[in-house]
Amino acid sequence: MLEFELIERYFRRPARRATLGVGDDCALLTLSPGMQLAVSCDMLVEGRHFLSTVDPFLLGHKALAVNLSDLAACGAKPLAFTLALALPRAEAKWLEPFARGLLGLADEHDCELIGGDTTQGPLNICITVFGEVPQGQALLRSGARAGDDLYVSGSVGDARLALEVFRGTVSVPASVFASARTRMEQPLPRVALGLALRGIANSAIDVSDGLLGDLGHILKQSGVGASVNTDVAAGLIAAKAQYAQVSTATDIELAPAQWLEWVLSGGDDYELLFTAPQSCRASVVAASEASQTPVTRIGSIEVERGLRLVDGKGRSVPNTYTSFDHFA
């Protein structure tokens, strides 16, 4: 299969919202009046972000999901994306499921593939997403204020558990692994929640490198501190309750500190971490319901800089948790 045949067959579809899509030198997007363009780019590299054995359908899904998650964290509505793809071989048995996973999620979010670049080389997927947000309404990392409540959506730490099972450092019953693996391979970008939080949240970020590390970005850019309730956080990993239900006497009991570590420093969760004024508690609940996305209040933003971990009784818990860093 030749380069243009490949693009034509798998990635070119009739333009819908875009003024001009795949096929010319540039794509053209027209923004609605009063809207700002939100742009984000994420790259997935074989051996770094995924294993060579991963199902191409899931890879297509995840490559776009991690990008949509950035739009969600800004409260932006997805519009379109570009795909820069390096792949070793032009094989239908890889391209067909990859395109299906990618474009399936794109259709769910009405986000159109408008261009890209295709080259031969080690497998590497780079997507740039474009979204729109009303002028001045984007949710930023820099907006947290002392007194804000701190929330996180969904469940956190499950993707890390799946990774540890793959690495062979831990073993869990098959059903627990299966759901954790889905969390790792098919993250759900919280786009609806991000949109619902416009005008409510003061700040937001998506959890990609680990909850505490990503919280650190909010704290630094907002010039504030926070305390996080570790007893509440410990319940955020969905696998923990499942494990309690299905594990048998022959399964090794996992220490509470182990679950908490996966929650606080796991990564690859693609949940939204956000802050909102205490006066907005009812609005946060309404946004959670409207977007059908569970949220949990895990702490609060404080004037005193730095991060404090406290248990349910208010006792201080030592912070030994580190986040993912590509060059660490």
Beta partners for 127? 42, 83
> Which strands sit side by side in the sheet containing 77-87, from one edge to the other?
35-45, 124-134, 77-87, 112-120
One-letter amino acid identity for 116?
G
Determine how β-strand 203-207 pairs with β-strand 271-276: antiparallel
Shortest CB 248 distance to ligand ADP, Å: 48
Q: Does 91 bind ligand ADP (CB under 6 A)?
A: no
- Interacting span for ligand ADP (CB under 6 A) from 17-25, 168-176, 237-245, 279-287: 17-25
Q: What is the number of other CB atoms lying within 10 angstroms of the CB of residue 315?
A: 9
- Are residues 184 and 178 in contact, defined by beta-carbon separation less than 8 angstroms? no
Q: Does 116 bind ligand ADP (CB under 6 A)?
A: yes
Q: Binding partner of residue 23 among Mg ion, ligand ADP, none, CB under 5 to 8 Å per kind?
A: ligand ADP
- Interacting span for ligand ADP (CB under 6 A) from 70-78, 112-120, 130-138, 218-226: 112-120
Cα 102 to Cα 35, 95, 135, 155, 210: the distances in Å are 26, 10, 29, 23, 25
Q: Binding partner of residue 213 among Mg ion, ligand ADP, none, CB under 5 to 8 Å per kind?
A: none
Q: Is the dihedral of CA 100, 101, 107, 113 positive or negative?
A: negative
- Are residues 265 and 325 in contact, defined by beta-carbon separation less than 8 angstroms? no
* Total of chain residues touching ligand ADP, rule CB under 6 A: 13
235 phi/psi in degrees, rounded to 5: -85, 0
Residue from the set 115, 143, 154, 299 that interacts with ligand ADP by CB under 6 A: 115
Rank residues 102 and 144 by Cβ distance to ligand ADP and give the closer one.
102
Residue from the set 5, 91, 110, 117 that interacts with Mg ion by CB under 5 A: 117
Shortest CB 25 distance to Mg ion, Å: 9
Residue 22 DSSP class: B
* 28 three-class SS: strand
Rank residues 90 and 310 by Cβ distance to ligand ADP and give the closer one.
90
Residue from the set 65, 83, 204, 205 that interacts with ligand ADP by CB under 6 A: 83
Q: Is the dihedral of CA 169, 172, 178, 184 positive or negative?
A: negative
Q: Binding partner of residue 24 among ligand ADP, Mg ion, none, CB under 5 to 8 Å per kind?
A: ligand ADP
Residue from the set 5, 91, 107, 117 that interacts with ligand ADP by CB under 6 A: 117
Residue from the set 58, 59, 80, 113 that interacts with ligand ADP by CB under 6 A: 113
Q: Does 7 bind ligand ADP (CB under 6 A)?
A: yes
Q: Binding partner of residue 196 among Mg ion, ligand ADP, none, CB under 5 to 8 Å per kind?
A: none
* Total of chain residues touching Mg ion, rule CB under 5 A: 1
Cα 113 to Cα 10, 27, 185, 204: the distances in Å are 11, 10, 21, 26
Q: Is the dihedral of CA 273, 212, 237, 149 positive or negative?
A: negative
Beta partners for 204? 274
Q: Does 289 bind Mg ion (CB under 5 A)?
A: no
Binding site for ligand ADP (CB under 6 A): 7, 11, 22-25, 83, 85, 113, 115-118
Binding site for Mg ion (CB under 5 A): 117
